[in-house]
A and B are shown apart, each in its own frame.
Chain A
């Protein structure tokens, strides 16, 4: 029952808005960027999972809520990477479209901006693409919000752990070059990483930041190479992850460990750099050899026509599974009961078991992965199974 207030426009789109029978169809709302600066990331990690999840649930006969089978129907909105639009779209989903389930938005900023409206509408919000160290404060203000992707501190700890392992086996020395994208994400991780690496006995021989949207990163890589580091870390975003890697190849940066952040785990990364990506470390990771992930990846490829990335994709899907399982377990659309159920239980998902601590925070997640034999495998995590041994980066050719 999609009530359209704008009848004159609805007339034009009548084909798209044929009213479905209410008993069997359930409206699922999803709002995330399709345009704007974050559209590229959402197109890889978010939207395909919405499609896949709905497909999977419908394929097994629909969502079983208290004995009634509901087929899912998605209403998608583009928030244009604009927080105001996200808020408005969530309200439209609930008030106008009659969405019973609203999936979480995409990215740290948009998730946090939407938290108050989810809270006011009483919706459970199992975020999958937000990293924050403020989980405790957030859960007090918004008890309906759950964090699955972790915060900066544990991620940095994972990277330090991987690098220390390489140093202790003698692959790399103490000299470290570290750069970050000057944006909330990069600044937060750089801020956490600097003291952590110094505490671990590393020497920071080069550090700098560059603005989001820099078209030329060769000066950064040239300066980093000139400092003759043993290891390189970049807290980077998608376009610059590609640019920095390419510049490292051009400069023939000789390091025993090379780490870039968001997008390293994208299949496009390996497609672009091929063999040269071997041994590159990146943020995230999955239990790539685990049956659950391989099964998921195969379905993802089959249904959406693209391979999932090796970090956020599986997490996004898992957060949908948490919602799915909770609604079926509760047996109704009583959001309060669903939220309580999420707090009290653990869930079997494609990334393994997922459960939340007293701050609604999932404390076990992947932090570091590495390209090994064409697969981005998790090498460090906070309590996930299936980590592989980290290997040294052996040049670029």
Chain B
């Protein structure tokens, strides 16, 4: 692969940004670090979500399922294996699960996929509780010495990895194929692109990323039970943040994650009794006022700027 000067510049700038972002734990340890963890987590989840859903237009609500699988990988594995080996294992499990789910439903139309993925988290949760019940096992404790800073750095690293993957996909044959699928699936099929395979392959990316994110965050939760690990809210929040940012660009979701997390914090800090209500309202605002997300807004502004000059 040939890299142009512009590519090198972009890569260098990204590396610098990541290095800066990594300094946060040295500046603050308390509240802002925990916000940092939240932002890094949603950055991973929303960006990887958009990698798949952006070009294919399939809305995946399976984030919670993958995330929970990762959390449980650590929950079950921590007693047997060293922590570091569990992250790749979680990633592989997430990717395999995504591949299976993708094979079953990605040939179908979009709505079925939405429902299927929403049910997936519930399904896995039920199976896990059923197995736990059979074996008489209780909630799992993950008692480790991993601190908030460690979790933050791991998440930032994972986010960097997701961005790199997205960037590479964009330059690859797969990325090219996906752009055609996104424009018109019929055309893609006629030009000899194996559409189902391309989609399944791509779906494995958010699967793996969300599972690893779940694994990284498991030590933060200490006590893992199905209801907490597979919370469906997570799936919806990821969708909202990604759409707020815009899925057309690799950096789009990030532009949604940061303001959303901060606004959300402000809302829950100032109106703790109306959080649900206000979350709903912010959904509506996004849909009606920012249909293409911040990316769309930014591009429109630029466009207008250019027109004004001309």
Contact = CB atoms under 8 A, between A and B. Distances in A.
Contact of A84 (B137, B217, B262): B217
A77 to B, nearest CB: 5
Contact of A83 (B32, B130, B143, B221): B221
A34 interface: yes
A88 B275 CA distance: 15
Given A80-B233, A84-B38, A183-B129, A109 B143 contact: no
Interface string B32-56: 1011001000000000000000000
Interface in A187-239: 187-188, 190-191, 194, 209, 211-212
Contacts of A82: 228, 231, 233
Given A76-B272, A80-B275, A183-B227, A112 B141 contact: yes
B136 A191 contact: yes
Main secondary structure of the interface of B (DSSP, over half): helix
A191 B227 CA distance: 19
Contacts of B35: 88
B265 A92 contact: yes
A171 interface: no
Contact of B268 (A78, A81, A116, A211): A78
Contacts of B137: 187, 191
Given A182-B132, A183-B226, A78 B273 contact: yes
A92 B38 CA distance: 13
A99 to B, nearest CB: 12
A10 B38 CA distance: 22
A13 B271 contact: yes
B220 interface: yes
Contact of A182 (B32, B34, B129, B272): B129
A78 B275 contact: yes
Best-surrounded residue of B30, B126, B227, B267 (most CB of chain A within 10 A):
B227
A83 B228 contact: yes
Given A84-B38, A182-B129, A115 B136 contact: no
Contacts of B34: 87-88, 91
A143 to B, nearest CB: 14
B226 A78 contact: no
Interface in B269-292: 269-273, 275-276
B10 to A, nearest CB: 32
B132 A96 contact: no
Interface in B246-302: 262, 265-273, 275-276
B84 interface: no
A290 B309 CA distance: 83
A340 interface: no
B31 interface: yes
A96 B221 CA distance: 22
B233 A109 contact: no
Interface string A331-349: 0000000000000000000
Contacts of A81: 227-228, 231
B12 interface: no
Nearest to A188: B138
A9 B34 CA distance: 21
Given A10-B270, A76-B273, A109 B227 contact: yes
A174 B30 CA distance: 56
Contacts of A34: 272-273, 275-276
A180 B31 CA distance: 39
A303 interface: no
Q: Which range contains the number of B residues in contact with the other chain?
A: 35 or more
A158 B106 CA distance: 53
Q: How large is the interface on A (under 10, 10 to 19, 20 to 34, 35 or more residues)?
A: 35 or more
A80 to B, nearest CB: 7
B133 interface: yes
Contact of A6 (B221, B233, B270): B270
A84 B137 CA distance: 24
B273 A187 contact: no
Nearest to A134: B141
A20 to B, nearest CB: 16
Interface string A81-112: 11111011101101111000000000011001
B224 to A, nearest CB: 8
B223 interface: yes
Given A95-B31, A187-B132, A187-B138, A77 B272 contact: yes
A4 interface: yes
A34 B275 CA distance: 9
B270 A9 contact: yes
A168 interface: no
B139 interface: yes
Given A17-B270, A78-B268, A84-B38, 9 more contacts: A6-B269, A75-B272, A76-B273, A88-B35, A109-B139, A113-B223, A187-B129, A187-B132, A191-B136
Q: What are the 7 tightest A-B residue pairs by CB atom distance, in nearest-first order?
A: A112-B223, A184-B139, A95-B31, A6-B266, A191-B136, A95-B30, A184-B225
Interface of A: 4, 6, 9-10, 12-13, 16-17, 34-37, 75-78, 80-85, 87-89, 91-92, 94-97, 108-109, 112-113, 115-116, 121, 134, 137, 141, 180, 182-184, 186-188, 190-191, 194, 209, 211-212
28 contacts: A4-B269, A4-B270, A9-B270, A35-B276, A75-B272, A76-B272, A78-B275, A80-B276, A81-B227, A81-B231, A82-B231, A82-B233, A83-B220, A83-B221, A83-B228, A87-B34, A88-B35, A97-B269, A112-B139, A112-B223, A113-B220, A113-B223, A121-B30, A137-B141, A184-B225, A187-B133, A187-B136, A190-B136
